[in-house]
Amino acid sequence: MVTMPRASIVKFAISDLLRQPLDSGPTLDGKPYVQHDPRIGYSYIPNVNQLLPRPGGGSYHFQTNSRGIRSSREYAFTKPSGMTRIILCGDSMSAGQFVSNEQRMSEQLERRVAGLEVINLSLEGSGTDQQLLLYESIGLQYEHDLVILMPFLSNLRRNMVAARDAFDAKTRSKVLRGKPRFDLVDGLLYLRNVPVPKEYPAPIVGAPAVITDTPHKFASQLKSRLSAIPGMPFVKKIAYFLVPWEPFPEFRDANSLEWQLMGAIVRRFKQSAGNRPMVIVPTFYDNYVRYRMARNYWRRFHSLEQIPGVHVIDLLPRFRTLGVEAMRCFQAPHDMHFSTYGHLVVADVLATELAKLQLFPSKVS
């Protein structure tokens, strides 16, 4: 057996730590409300109505309708007369992980704008590739006027893999949850890994690539200890002011494989949406309002406005105007996702910016 010198182990652990998004420690979530789906990988179980525990204490309301859409009501395929309808696609940030149905940005946006209906197809833990397939298989069944896509920054990596780390709801053990994956060949998308296997064995040679959202145990402990050092937030603030931190270096290069795939998926999204406008709203975690982070992601997503009918909305300026209150927008330190207050802020930004773009009625209550 070959052993690694202790200095090399420490160097490897620190290197692994630096590749992780800052302070985004894992939340053990078995997702008892999902089921295997041969095309999407997994989907919400229809007719779920539960109170579930929230990180840090308390509970939240999770409900799906008969179609497996997270919503407290049903939707007609034909939109109601005089109504503007939005299809919202995204991952856990827009799905409202650990936030009750009625407190999510989609429901809050409806309450702010008269004559608006939002069907939120967001799926926790999904990549933009899965969101595209959800839109094509479910979203297009519903008459709608506008598509909003809210990619979390790590979707860039999720799109590249055929399986991801997850936790089994019953055993609470780590498992591999399969997903579809697109290959980009000569500018064309080819769907792979469909039907998605229901179960994956433990990682073996030749198994699909896997992205691990949970950092190495040692690295996680090291990060927690470093963050707990008195004055460390101030040190980070000074360091990142001098050299903005980039946790997703794939955004630096417009020709990176990850960005090229993301751009192709977005273009197909718009093609599937037809003449309907499409609005892209990138989401991020709390360090983007806590520190001076690199903005390569914004340059990449903003460049997609070159696609006819595509608009891009920047959330970060509004969050930064909140000052110290901006941290209330996240469930930190217990979780990285938007809080109830964060969903309210996002709903307010969407109401304002979509009205400026004249994409729905401008009457905001």
pLDDT of residue 146: 97
- Whether the pLDDT of residue 172 is over 50: the answer is yes
Q: Is residue 225 part of a domain?
A: no
Report the pLDDT averaged over residues 226-240.
63
CA atoms within 13 A on the CB side of 246: 12
Q: Residue 49 belongs to what H/E stretch?
A: strand 49-53
- Whether the pLDDT of residue 23 is over 70: the answer is no
Nearest to 359 by CA among 149, 150, 148: 148
pLDDT band of 174, cuts 50, 70, 90: confident
pLDDT of residue 227: 60
Report the pLDDT averaged over residues 44-67.
96
- Whether the pLDDT of residue 3 is over 90: the answer is no
pLDDT of residue 15: 36
DSSP 8-class letter at 365:
-
Report the pLDDT averaged over residues 77-92.
96
What tokens were used for 175? Answer: 């498992």
Q: Secondary structure of 208-265 in the HEC alphabet?
A: CCEECCCCCHHHHHHHHHHHHCCCHHHHHHHHHHHCCECCCHHHHCCCCHHHHHHHHH
Domain extent at residue 313: 25-213+244-356
Report the pLDDT averaged over residues 231-243.
63
Do the Cβ atoms of 238 and 292 come closer than 8 Å? no
- Whether the pLDDT of residue 65 is over 70: the answer is yes
Query: What CATH number is associated with residue 173?
Result: 3.40.50.1110
CA-CA distances (angstroms) from residue 163 to 55, 220, 340?
A: 25, 22, 30
283 pairs with which residues across the strands?
Answer: 152
Report the pLDDT averaged over residues 230-237.
63
What phi and psi values does residue 190 have, to the nearest 5 degrees? Answer: -125, 125
pLDDT band of 176, cuts 50, 70, 90: confident
Report the pLDDT averaged over residues 183-190.
96
pLDDT of residue 237: 63
The three-state secondary structure class of 342 is: helix
Q: Is residue 19 part of a domain?
A: no
- Whether the pLDDT of residue 152 is over 60: the answer is yes
- If one compares 292 and 13, the residue with the highest pLDDT of the two is 292
**Could you tell me what percent of the chain has a pLDDT over 90?**
71
Q: Is residue 17 part of a domain?
A: no
pLDDT band of 221, cuts 50, 70, 90: low
Q: How far apart are CA 68 and CA 81, in angstroms?
A: 24
Q: Is residue 235 part of a domain?
A: no
pLDDT of residue 139: 98
Q: Secondary structure of 68-109 in the HEC alphabet?
A: CCECCCCCCCCCCCCCEEEEEEECHHHHCCCCCHHHCHHHHH
Which of 96-110, 160-174, 213-227 ranks highest by mean pLDDT? 96-110
Q: Is residue 237 part of a domain?
A: no
- If one compares 7 and 83, the residue with the highest pLDDT of the two is 83
- Whether the pLDDT of residue 21 is over 50: the answer is no
pLDDT of residue 1: 36
Q: What is the tally of structural domains in the chain?
A: 1
pLDDT of residue 213: 47
pLDDT of residue 17: 35
| pTM, rounded to two decimals | 0.85
Report the pLDDT averaged over residues 14-38.
59
Dihedral over Cα of 359, 65, 42, 169: its sign: positive
Q: What is the pLDDT of residues 103-138, one digit of tens each?
A: 999 999 999 999 999 999 999 999 999 999 999 999
Q: Is residue 144 part of a domain?
A: yes
Q: Is residue 222 part of a domain?
A: no
Q: What is the pLDDT of residues 291-302, one digit of tens each?
A: 989 999 999 999
**Could you tell me what percent of the chain has a pLDDT over 70?**
78
DSSP 8-class letter at 195:
S
CA-CA distances (angstroms) from residue 281 to 34, 305, 314?
A: 25, 12, 6
Q: Is residue 309 part of a domain?
A: yes
pLDDT of residue 105: 98
pLDDT band of 208, cuts 50, 70, 90: low
Q: What is the pLDDT of residues 278-335, one digit of tens each?
A: 999 999 999 999 998 999 999 999 999 999 999 999 999 999 999 999 999 999 999 9
